[in-house]
Structure 1
Amino acid sequence: MFKSSMHADLRNEVGSNACHRVRNSGHIPGVVYGHHVATRLIEVDQKKIDGIVRSHGTNVLLSLDMDGRDSTVIIKELQRHPITHHIMHVDFQEVSHDEKIHTTVPIILRGREKVESKNSVVQHQLRELHIECLPQHVPNSIELDITMLSPNHPLRIADMEFSTELTVLNEPNEVIASLTRAERVIDDPGEGEDLLNKVLGTNTEIK
């Protein structure tokens, strides 16, 4: 899991107008919460949080400096603008290195080019894995080898072996990926007419 650090300022004002003022100043409003701490309202530098998410995604362990006190946190939720996709609000969860957390990590399929052909394509059905582990053991992603994938035998959670540091919370029968027959797409309508003429054994124009 990537590690990074950033500074956060405590804020006292709440509500839409207050959040607008925070964003207009180049910051993002957010909250920090945890099992053993009171929820705190904060604001963080927009460019800093944008850079961290762009470089490392949301699975990053952060040392968050708040009012001279460092807290270890993870990004629990990002709220984005529906059109611009700019970050509008961020939730941080304070964590302890000796307490397990629940989180999700992206699934990356390796070997797709070895099983796909003009007649079959890989359907990536489960894109995130729900796991429980210590914060320092959260991986950036889960890479799965699918070179053994075959038609009518989808890859399920139960088929895979994961690190002993992780507890997978997904159902064992959930399908991660499957190999399905590729359907031919006719892009040119005239091509479809030619094919039908061949099937009918005639060159008669179809009206």
Structure 2
Amino acid sequence: MGLAVLKVQERELKKKNELKKLRKEGFIPAIIYAHNKKTKQIKLNRQEVDKTLNHYGVGSSVYLEMGNEIKHAIIKDIQRHTTKLNVLHIDLQELDANEKVRVKIPIHLVNKSAVESSTSVIQQQMTELEIQTYPKYLKQSIEVDVSNIKYGEPFIVSQLEIYNDPNIEVLNGAEEIVALLTESTKLEEKEDQDSDDLLKMLY
């Protein structure tokens, strides 16, 4: 999937009540900041943002269309309403092709059904990986195939393909656990229930 493109419109710094009006008009207030550049106050089309966030999130790369310019950026922060969860504000960091960027990218486990059963389940210990690299080497996410994971042998950071990529520095510890195959809680609950039933029979 290619990078999403968000159309950007500049806006004036507004007070809280004016930002509410902006949101009612179908926009999301946001900022773009960059090294040695003045922070820009912008607004984004809500429909475009919602569509983009169906596939991307914090740490993802996007293109920003600003008039006749296209800027490469990453989503640094998303502020949501505490109960409604709709997006209230977004922070974007403009990228410089010649400067490394530090970012956290999501980890997705695939092929879990190959090893999960009624007695065992994959437990994901790490949901994102922190990396540092140049913009052209950025990844949107990491897929981890856990079909060969063995019981009692955790899958760790150093086993990730990205860990050996010479263009990317992984900032997490090599021995940190990404995922492991553990006993299913359903089995534990059944064993607890069996123990309770046995105690009732005895007493």
TM-score by length of 1: 0.83
Distance 1:95 1:107 in 2: 22
Distance 1:194 1:56 in 2: 48
Q: Deviations over 1:62-104 (max 9, x none)?
A: 13315x5443222111101111111100111110223221111
- What SS does the corresponding residue of 2:188 show, helix, strand or coil? coil
Q: Within 5 Å, which residues of 2 pair with 1:1-207?
A: 2-58=2-58, 59-65=60-66, 68-162=68-162, 163-182=165-184, 183-186=187-190, 194-196=197-199, 200=202
Contact 2:154–2:179 (8 Å) recurs in 1: yes
- What SS does the corresponding residue of 2:23 show, helix, strand or coil? helix
Contact 2:63–2:70 (8 Å) recurs in 1: no
Number of aligned pairs? 198
TM-score by length of 2: 0.84
Distance 1:69 1:174 in 2: 41
Deviation of the 1:2 alpha carbon = 3.1
- What SS does the corresponding residue of 1:165 show, helix, strand or coil? coil
- What SS does the corresponding residue of 2:12 show, helix, strand or coil? coil
Distance 1:81 1:37 in 2: 29
Distance 2:83 2:4 in 1: 28
Distance 1:49 1:43 in 2: 10
Which of these two proteins has the greater Rg computed from alpha carbons? 1
- Unpaired segments of 5 or more residues in structure 2? none
Deviation of the 1:116 alpha carbon = 2.0
Give every structure 1 segment of 4 or more consecutive aligned residues whose post-TM-superposition deviation is greater than 3 Å: 55-58, 191-198
Contact 2:32–2:39 (8 Å) recurs in 1: yes
% same residue = 29
Q: Deviations over 1:32-72 (max 9, x none)?
A: 10003100111111111111111344413213315x54432
The alignment yields a C-alpha RMSD, in angstroms, of 2.6
Distance 2:71 2:3 in 1: 13
Deviation of the 1:117 alpha carbon = 2.4
Contact 1:103–1:130 (8 Å) recurs in 2: yes
Change (3 A) 1:144 1:55: closer
- Unpaired segments of 5 or more residues in structure 1? 201-205
